[in-house]
Structure 1
Amino acid sequence: MEPENTTQNKPRGRVVMLVDNGVKGDSRVQKAARSAADAGWDVVLFGVSPDGEKHSWKVGSAEVRLIPKPGPLNPRRHDMRRPLFRRPLAYRSPQVARYRVQAVKAWRSDLSFRQAAVKAARAGHPGRSAGGSKARLLVPRVSSKVYSKWVALRARETTDLQQRRSMLDARLDRATTALWQGLMKQRSWRRLTPNLWDFELAFAKHIDKLKPDLIHAHDFKMLGVGARAAVRARAAGRPVKLVWDAHEYVPGLPPRHGRWLPGHVAWEKEHAVFADAVITVSPALAELLKKGHGLSQLPTVVLNAPVLSPGPDEVAGAGPVPDLRELCGVGPNTPLLAYVGGINPVRGVETIVEGLTQLPDVHVAMVSVPPGKPYAATATIRKLVDKLGVGDRVHFLPFVPHWQVAEFVAPADAAVSPLHHLANHELALSNKFFEYSQARLPQIVSDIRTMSEMVRSTGQGEVFRAQDTDDYVRAVKAVLADPERYRAAYDKPGLLEKWTWEAQAEILDGIYSRLLPDRPRIAAQPSGSRADARA
């Protein structure tokens, strides 16, 4: 790790950013850190180490530090208590059950070995002393058999209990969850999701050591960490400012178990009041945050727009933008749709594949292959592709750097966003929406609220009913029949200029400047000349 006093002489002050991931896969966080540093702030971005080791590198002039986050509070309390009333025969924990099962197997294996040693010795082989007579081993063998059945019974009880408890949605679980919510209100996360303390305990000392002027907390988990650091600093006489960057609508997230959602909602509720400014990713989410937390001001929208001019460190070592149509093996006259993003059951990729059976000349570029291990759902989609006999028209392609996406997909005839109806999808204006726009592609989007409203208002594409393959086919045919009609929407003065990260960075710096008015704005000082992504 580098010394803590890096770039102390910068004129605008120190910004500490916080995120609960490994940074490299989070383009919004990287863009925010880089642009803030370019604007003259001394930026240190803390993330979570994926391997328990400390890591550090630069994103432009901003420093990234990944911190190990042990998880000793991850186990649930009931995992450490004997389930006396719910399953009295179950072991205290699955670990104990596994130990007992293995131990009794070892005992029986040893008895078998001892009996075999006697038999082998009678045949003239060495090792009689390791064995035991049949009569001598009778009682241990019977005992081990009985004990093995007892252990197996208790192990089954333990497994059944764990399966029943895993989602914490049994009647007793729901009752205790409601009890803690009623008794502790927004403080109930301490009982429902105590593992959130692990973030606080991992990051607190690192934040305090840097003595930031402003803390920028990305998303809900780091809101609490940032709020607590700000409170400590304020109590010590340092008026630290806190910016909360809300990426998602927490009540709309899919719960991992029955206590996950109420616990995280309570965590966010308790700490939102400490924020000096709130920013978020769409106008719809801004309205929900204002209402849900009783904010005095509507959060400022900072869109997930693409970078048009990446930094020299980003383009260093990167190859030229690949030729999309060449990778797909199709010529300029073949209808080609582009889809960029992950593959999972709620992203609607099945609709794209099923639609190809009614669009015999259309090909699809699935820019969905991450480095390393592929998405688990990709195998399911490949099976569907093979089943429908459209494998020659579906092209699975690797991701490209975020600053290359717009130029990479531009040769397509249209882009598709087939998201299903989920609370956070309804509020989203995703990275891909703006990347497709910068590519000037007509868009075919499902009727999730915010994105469909935008497409209808600008005229840049067609909307179809989510998970309705026939309606999707109708929208595709309409766009391919007259793509220039939809591309013309991008000629509106100022539209695409507003949908860039460069424009959003000005909004973000304006918030910092408002919170710290004694730190005058200066001309951007990037760490070298910016490269043009479209050059």
Structure 2
Amino acid sequence: MSATPGILVGRRVCMFVLNDCTRDSRVLREAASLAAAGAEVTIIARRGEGLPDQEMRGPVRVVRVATRASLGQAAGEGDAVARRSGAGFLARQRPRLERWRALGIRELPAYLGVRTWRLAFVRTWQLVFYVVSHLSYWLGMTFQVLTWTFKAGRHVPAADVYHGHDLTGVGPAWWFARRHRARLVYDSHELYPESGRAAVAPRFTRRVLTAIDRWFMRRADAVVTVNRSIADEMARRYRIEQPVAVMNCPERWRSDDPEPPTFDHFRQTARLPIAPGTPIVIYQGGFRPHRGIEQIVAALLEPELRDAVGVFLGYGPQRDWISAQAARPDLAGRLFVVDAVPPDVLLEWTASADVTISPIQHSTLNHWLSSPNKVFESLAAGVPIVASDFPEMARIIGDTGAGVVCDPADPGAIARATAGILGADPADRAALRRRCRAAALDRYNWETEAGHLLATYAVLVGTPEAGA
């Protein structure tokens, strides 16, 4: 599916995304595609340190608006104080209990009943604040979105379509769409109530988030999401029309040369001490829980990968843990961490590896249904993939023959799948890399995916392509 350039000439689009809009590739790609089709596009983002309040990203205007997180901060600080108070009280009682045990006292004196009551009180206090700690996060987030919306008011232009990214962006998009009698697009990058902090929130909180998500989806003129599996789940769960799947693939890269490119950035640019000819397996993306980072490290210790090295390319809270693993004697010289690189050179670094590993864990339904960006980036770079045997990843790899799926929780399975690719005949490995490139150039690219988005807009704003 494709759309003719210029089909949105004279149309105005305003997007909302609650981040600083510097690394959100999906938002920037969508905005650029809408602008290339003739639309005047504004992105309302969150102010970031050291970033201009307004700037032009090509033809797209980005406006960054400050948020006020004081309520969320106060709730978090209150929770911390309560936890410290409860923990302090219990710590003060522990020596007394130990003395009583040492004296062999089995039946505590009557006055201990007061102490016991106090202990029960503190336990209850801690339980209450455990629940509050979750609720305070969402209360703070709600406060941020509301203040962001109101402060953005003077920067938001009249538009034909207001496009909200995720649950945090659709609220203001809905508000301004209603105010200007415009169309509303809800672009859900994930199954929000089943992702991140929401997935581990108390049941009541998840039910509230699900109800809010449903409310906005039923009021949107179009719902867009990241893949077919999540679209199916949204349609079933919320009883809405099938959302439009727009996968977050990179643009066609080096389309004038379909052969797999050759780069060696890890040795030549990062100066890693990797001997020539040593196979490199790469994990790229966020260093966060449930991404399979621990399983990759364990897989490198399996005998099948004894001759390979692993490189983690990216950033995130688990960086220190990965660095500590790299310092272990049994992984010395076999595990490296490299800082994230700019998006415009990322595929060159990906192409410097022999295999990409993406063993995201089945910790949430959102992960189970995911289609990680790194899968599409590996296709574009011509690098075979070892990925989780989950619906979307299995479908993509099955369709393209671009790698192997395995049980992501089993380091041995990851090692065997990776070794199977590394140990293949050179001619077979070359053919595998060509299949990756062909899949990216022919099907899994942003030019193809943008067509779905533009066709949806054509229907919304009544251009000549409406209904095509």
Report the TM-score range of the alignment, normalised by the length of the smaller protein: 0.7 to 0.9
Shift of 1:220: 1.4
The CA RMSD measured in Å over matched residues stands at 3.7
2:286 corresponds in structure 1 to 342
Contact between 1:12 and 1:520, CA under 8 Å: does it hold in 2?
no
2:398 corresponds in structure 1 to 456
- Secondary structure of the corresponding residue to residue 435 of structure 2: helix
- Secondary structure of the corresponding residue to residue 224 of structure 2: strand
Shift of 1:207: 4.9
**Structure 2: how far apart are the matches of 1:333 and 1:93?**
52
1:265 corresponds in structure 2 to 210
Match of 1:306 among 228, 234, 250: 250
Shift of 1:94: 4.4
Match of 1:466 among 382, 386, 408: 408
1:376 corresponds in structure 2 to 317
Shift of 1:490: 3.1
Q: Which moved more, 1:45-54 or 1:17-26?
A: 45-54
- Secondary structure of the corresponding residue to residue 283 of structure 2: strand
**Structure 1: how far apart are the matches of 2:217 and 2:387?**
33
| 1:395-415 residue CA offsets vs partner (Å, 9 max, x unmatched) | 211211223222222132111
Q: Does 1:164 align with 2:127?
A: yes
Q: 1:385 to 1:156 in 2, by over 3 A?
A: farther
2:311 corresponds in structure 1 to 365
Contact between 1:193 and 1:263, CA under 8 Å: does it hold in 2?
no
Q: 1:398 to 1:277 in 2, by over 3 A?
A: same
1:83 corresponds in structure 2 to none
Shift of 1:355: 1.8
Match of 1:200 among 142, 146, 169: 146
Match of 2:21 among 13, 23, 33: 23
Match of 2:367 among 398, 416, 425: 425
Q: 1:230 to 1:519 in 2, by over 3 A?
A: farther
Q: Which moved more, 1:159-168 or 1:249-258?
A: 159-168
TM-score normalised by L of structure 2: 0.77
2:100 corresponds in structure 1 to none
**Structure 1: how far apart are the matches of 2:354 and 2:151?**
52
**Structure 2: how far apart are the matches of 1:93 and 1:344?**
23
Shift of 1:349: 1.4
**Structure 2: how far apart are the matches of 1:412 and 1:77?**
45
**Structure 2: how far apart are the matches of 1:66 and 1:444?**
38
Shift of 1:48: 1.6
2:55 corresponds in structure 1 to 57
**Structure 1: how far apart are the matches of 2:125 and 2:179?**
40
What are structure 1's unaligned runs of at least 5 residues? 1-9, 81-91, 102-154, 178-188, 235-239, 311-320, 522-535
Count, aligned residues:
407
Shift of 1:329: 3.2
Amino acid at match of 1:233: H
**Structure 2: how far apart are the matches of 1:44 and 1:491?**
33
Contact between 2:16 and 2:173, CA under 8 Å: does it hold in 1?
yes
Contact between 1:416 and 1:443, CA under 8 Å: does it hold in 2?
yes
1:14 corresponds in structure 2 to 12
2:171 corresponds in structure 1 to 224
Q: Does 1:395 align with 2:336?
A: yes
Matches within 5 A, 1:188-337: 193=139, 195-196=141-142, 198-204=144-150, 206-207=152-153, 209-234=156-181, 240-253=182-195, 254-255=197-198, 257-258=201-202, 259-296=204-241, 298-308=242-252, 323-326=265-268, 327=270, 328-337=272-281
Contact between 1:54 and 1:67, CA under 8 Å: does it hold in 2?
no
- Secondary structure of the corresponding residue to residue 341 of structure 1: strand
Shift of 1:481: 1.6
Shift of 1:390: 0.9
| 1:498-517 residue CA offsets vs partner (Å, 9 max, x unmatched) | 22223322322222222112
- Secondary structure of the corresponding residue to residue 210 of structure 1: coil
Contact between 2:280 and 2:354, CA under 8 Å: does it hold in 1?
yes
Shift of 1:42: 0.9
Shift of 1:520: 8.1
**Structure 1: how far apart are the matches of 2:431 and 2:340?**
29
- Secondary structure of the corresponding residue to residue 74 of structure 1: helix
Amino acid at match of 1:164: L
Q: 1:72 to 1:479 in 2, by over 3 A?
A: same
Amino acid at match of 1:212: A
Structure with higher Rg: it is 1
| 1:203-255 residue CA offsets vs partner (Å, 9 max, x unmatched) | 24645751111111111121222122222222xxxxx1111111010231243
Q: 1:74 to 1:462 in 2, by over 3 A?
A: same
Shift of 1:437: 0.5
Shift of 1:278: 1.1
| 1:266-321 residue CA offsets vs partner (Å, 9 max, x unmatched) | 2212221221111111100010111122113x1111111113469xxxxxxxxxx8
**Structure 2: how far apart are the matches of 1:195 and 1:442?**
39
Shift of 1:165: 2.7
Match of 1:435 among 377, 399, 411: 377
Amino acid at match of 2:337: F
Amino acid at match of 2:42: V
Contact between 1:52 and 1:69, CA under 8 Å: does it hold in 2?
no
Match of 2:449 among 498, 504, 508: 504
| 1:104-132 residue CA offsets vs partner (Å, 9 max, x unmatched) | xxxxxxxxxxxxxxxxxxxxxxxxxxxxx
What are structure 2's unaligned runs of at least 5 residues? 1-7, 89-117, 255-262
**Structure 2: how far apart are the matches of 1:342 and 1:47?**
21
Matches within 5 A, 1:470-489: 470-482=412-424, 483-489=429-435
Shift of 1:59: 1.3
**Structure 1: how far apart are the matches of 2:385 and 2:167?**
31
- Secondary structure of the corresponding residue to residue 441 of structure 1: coil
1:122 corresponds in structure 2 to none
Q: 1:272 to 1:76 in 2, by over 3 A?
A: farther
Shift of 1:434: 0.5
